[in-house]
Amino acid sequence: MNKERENAIVLTQGGLERLNQLISQTEQRLRELSKWLPDAPALSPAHEEYYLESIKLKKLIETRGNARIVNNDEAAQLGIGLHFKIMDVSTGEAEEYKVTAPFESDPTRGKISYQSPLVKSIMGHKEGEIFELLTPEGQKKLKILSIAIGPHS
């Protein structure tokens, strides 16, 4: 596998459209912030936000540059669009997730990247099965309560 392919971010056409929309929104936010910067004192929250938004834009553009567009079948093989609910066997705590492209991931909202160790561990398993995952807190046994492929929106 060549280096370009290894660094590629896999996206469906819909994922690319969402990425382009996010890039446009971030560019618009930077234009709005730039209007305030001349009047803002040095090291103000406006400067900080502008800096953070600039970094975000750079990363989004880099992601787009590394994107490899795949069809829904290829995306499903990586888990993109997968919805699953798992339970920690030792605590009984359950969590639900949707698998997304890296730029869309937000674990606090139940969205995780297809590149995450959890997604890589769950692939190939079925509902009702127990699998192990190495976490920073140590090895965990997790049970798959439900698993299904959803639409690739």
Here the CATH number for the domain that contains residue 47 is 1.10.287
Query: Would the pLDDT of 83 be above 50?
Result: yes
**Claim to verify: residue 85 and residue 144 sit in the same structural domain:** yes
**Claim to verify: residue 92 and residue 139 sit in the same structural domain:** yes
State how many domains the chain has: 2
The total number of residues written for the chain in this structure? 153
Say if CB 146 and CB 134 are below 8 A apart: no
Say if CB 86 and CB 144 are below 8 A apart: yes
Using pLDDT thresholds of 50, 70 and 90, give the confidence band for residue 7.
low
User: pTM for the complete prediction?
Assistant: 0.72
- Report if residue 56 sits inside a domain: yes
- Report if residue 24 sits inside a domain: yes
**What are the C-alpha distances in Å from 32 to residues 5, 28, 40, 49, 138?**
36, 6, 13, 11, 45
CA dihedral (80, 83, 88, 93) positive or negative = positive
Q: Give the mean pLDDT of 87-91.
A: 95
Distance of CA 96 to the CA centre of its chain: 15
Say if CB 78 and CB 10 are below 8 A apart: yes
**Claim to verify: residue 62 and residue 84 sit in the same structural domain:** no
Query: Would the pLDDT of 152 be above 50?
Result: no
Q: Give the domain extent around 110.
A: 79-149
**Claim to verify: residue 64 and residue 84 sit in the same structural domain:** no
- Give the CATH number of the domain where residue 94 resides: 3.10.50.30
Residues 6+ apart with CB under 8 A from 27: 57
**Claim to verify: residue 61 and residue 122 sit in the same structural domain:** no
- Report if residue 74 sits inside a domain: no
Q: What is the pLDDT of residue 22?
A: 95
